[in-house]
Amino acid sequence: ILMKRITIIIISLIIFLICFAGIGFSQEHMYVLGTASTGGTFNYIGSALANFISEKLEDIDIRAITTGGSNVNIRLLNEGEIDFGMANSLSLYFAAEGKRLWEGKPQSHLRAITRTHAASIHYVVRKDSGIKTFEDLIGTRGNTDVVGGTPRLIHSDICKFAGVDPNKMAQTNVGYKQALDLFRDGHIDWFLASGSVPESNVTEIAYTRDIDILDIGGELRENLLEAVPYYFPRTIPAGTYKGIDRPVETIDTVAAIWCDVSMSEEIVYKITKVIYDNIDEVRKLHVGLSDLSLENATGGLGIPVHPGAEKYYQEVAGKK
């Protein structure tokens, strides 16, 4: 009887250990992706990709959170608050090189996984404001972005090359949704939006207010493109937004998902693979992802590619 009890106990322990080990091996890897403010393209695309990856991969769960955008995400990664981030190539380049906000503090540990979308700059103004050029912004009230957001850096660059002092205009620093409310209620004369075309906030406000968009073209754009890496020319087609029946000249930056160089090569490989093995589905998640492809996955990102992502890209290239 004693031996029988001992045998039962041993068998029970074995079953328990097997079950416990099974739980351990099947446990998901939980990660956080930093996006940007609510209502922006980063937030929409980041949330869509996080959900898509989590649904496709049983052992990886990514939760997207709202943040202050590109530069804030770099800080949050350094503080251990997020595992992956979204940022545009301009911010990544300056961070890696230790310039601008990162002067003397190069962030050489950042590694790209993939481009996500092109983010176009929109200076949206009230049509009755009399604002036609950047010089006209002097003495007006506007919104660039939350503190730490890249649009603030872009605004600084544009003002510099347009010969305009940004300190001579009153600026609020809130996210897109709050900016729309301020604009709609007449508290600000203009706001800066950065996102894929058509940009959802610009589309929304164009149906409730008469708007115009300032051109960033000609000599101004030429000087910007020559002086600052990772700006690209863009023409927004006529009719993209209600009431704007002319092409709008502007600039783009490229957005990306990235992580720390120490992130598991296997995890990054799986994420990259699930995106590009299902590229037709991914392109349908958001209009900004519609032109994503292996051909443009790593171009102009401002930082090196993570070894896990590079492994996938080389693997696919070897099959061609």
For residue 10, the model assigns a pLDDT of: 63
Both tokens assigned to 52: 């898509």
Top pLDDT among 151 and 189 is at 189
Q: Which of 221, 253, 285 is the last residue of a domain?
A: 253
Distance (Å, rounded) from C-alpha 20 to C-alpha 172?
54
Are 244 and 211 contacting, i.e. CB atoms less than 8 angstroms apart? yes
Are residues 230 and 155 located together in one domain of the fold?
yes
For residue 122, the model assigns a pLDDT of: 97
What is the domain extent for residue 171? 119-253
Are residues 244 and 176 located together in one domain of the fold?
yes
- Residue closest to 29 by CA, chosen among 65, 61, 77: 61
Given a cut of 60, whether residue 4 has pLDDT beyond it is no
Given a cut of 70, whether residue 299 has pLDDT beyond it is yes
Give the percent of the chain with pLDDT over 90: 82
Top pLDDT among 114 and 15 is at 114
Are residues 297 and 239 located together in one domain of the fold?
no
Both tokens assigned to 157: 């660059």
Q: What is the DSSP letter of 169?
A: S
238 exposure class (CB count in 10 Å sphere: 0-12, 13-18, 19+): exposed
Given a cut of 50, whether residue 25 has pLDDT beyond it is no
Total structural domains in the chain?
Answer: 2
For residue 16, the model assigns a pLDDT of: 54
Are residues 83 and 138 located together in one domain of the fold?
no
Q: Provide the CATH number for the domain around residue 73.
A: 3.40.190.10
Residue 262 maps to a domain: yes
Cα angle value 237/288/304 (rounded, 5°): 115
Are residues 134 and 193 located together in one domain of the fold?
yes
Are residues 164 and 228 located together in one domain of the fold?
yes
Given a cut of 60, whether residue 124 has pLDDT beyond it is yes
Are 303 and 96 contacting, i.e. CB atoms less than 8 angstroms apart? yes
For residue 24, the model assigns a pLDDT of: 46
Are residues 244 and 179 located together in one domain of the fold?
yes
Residue 14 maps to a domain: no
